[in-house]
Amino acid sequence: MLARLGHVALRTPDLDRSLAFFDGVIGLELVERGDGCAYLRAWGDHEHHTLALIEAADGAVDHAGWRTRAPQDVDAFGARLRADGIEVEDVAAGVEAGQGAALRFRTPAGLPYEIYHDVEKRPPGAGRRPAVKTNSGRPWDHGISPRRLDHVNFVTPDVAAEEAWSQTALGFLTRERIRRDDGTVQGAWLGVSALAHDLALGAGPTAGGRGLHHVAFFVDNASDVLRAAEIFIEHGIEPDHGPGRHAISQAVCVYARDPASGHRVEIYSGSYLVLDPDWPTVEWSQAEYRQWWGAQPSRTEGSPIDVVTPC
């Protein structure tokens, strides 16, 4: 069983400029910087990193890393995926900093996933011990300063097929779905944890039909989303959606893209939790679906997905 989205690894053609965005503007903490790589996390993240940045010419998404509930789940997923004919790469412990053995593979839609369990629980850095023992860093230290990684949203050419595969192969449950009048699926929001969703799949305008729509980081309050919008704008980065509130997921949100890599980040708050064991998929028709309130998207293209290059 998957426990949660553990981290996302993004490639960027300019690591320094991407760090200026993810560290300086988003306000993540730089945990470790290697040769062409940087590892970051939010002040309420406890693993070694929740975001990896990898310098690479193509600026594609490298992978989304899903952490399992138990150590033995990694091998079990590997066996099942291989039995289904999926090509699975074994990644040795330590290839990704702070992380144990992992599997990497492409989903039927071509999404680059990693599955792993073992990961270093890194304590706060020297001189950065937060006021509260259950945090790994200091809130409000710099930039937007989100609490934690939340979810990932991919553009896929056939949402219904990828949604079905995510359910059967990886154990995701669909919390909400938009069904078009012609019966096809416009978007699906799926979860493995108590979050409203850990993974979203949506149709959308992206080269090749597949890409990363966004990675979301959570802030505690709707007012923090408004502050995030102002921080983006003061840095000359125009949000490309929001501030607003989704009807689906009920989240208050603002989105902006890293000027260096083009990868989009959502600052996200106020969603619901799925604590009931029998949450029924809530389906919206095209006619029913609308944003709850706020600014509509001005741009919806995802950033590209390419071959997996471990770092």
Question: Does 194 sit near a second copy (CB under 8 A)?
Answer: yes
Binding a second copy by CB under 8 A: which of 79, 92, 93, 233?
Answer: 233
**Cα–Cα separations (whole angstroms), residue 134 to 3, 44, 247, 308:** 19, 8, 31, 34
Question: Does 229 sit near a second copy (CB under 8 A)?
Answer: yes
In whole angstroms, give the CA distance from residue 62 to residue 69: 23
Question: Does 10 sit near a second copy (CB under 8 A)?
Answer: no
Do the beta carbons of residue 193 and residue 215 sit within 8 Å? Answer: no
Contact track, a second copy, 277-306, x by CB under 8 A: xx-x-x-x---x---xxxxx----------
Do the beta carbons of residue 8 and residue 152 sit within 8 Å? Answer: yes
For residue 223, count other CB atoms closer than 10 A to its CB. 11
Which of 219, 176, 181, 235 is CA-nearest to residue 44?
219
Part in contact with a second copy (CB under 8 A); list of ranges 90-98, 108-116, 141-149, 303-311: 141-149
Eight-class DSSP state of 273: B
**Interface size with a second copy, residues (CB under 8 A):** 65
**Parallel, antiparallel or unpaired: strands 148-155 and 199-202:** parallel
Part in contact with a second copy (CB under 8 A); list of ranges 28-36, 75-83, 102-110, 137-145: 137-145
Question: Rule CB under 8 A: which residues touch a second copy?
Answer: 3-4, 44, 46-47, 67-70, 121, 130-135, 138-142, 147-148, 176, 193-195, 220-224, 226-227, 229-231, 233-234, 239, 243-245, 247-248, 250, 252, 254, 269-270, 272-273, 275-278, 280, 282, 284, 288, 292-296
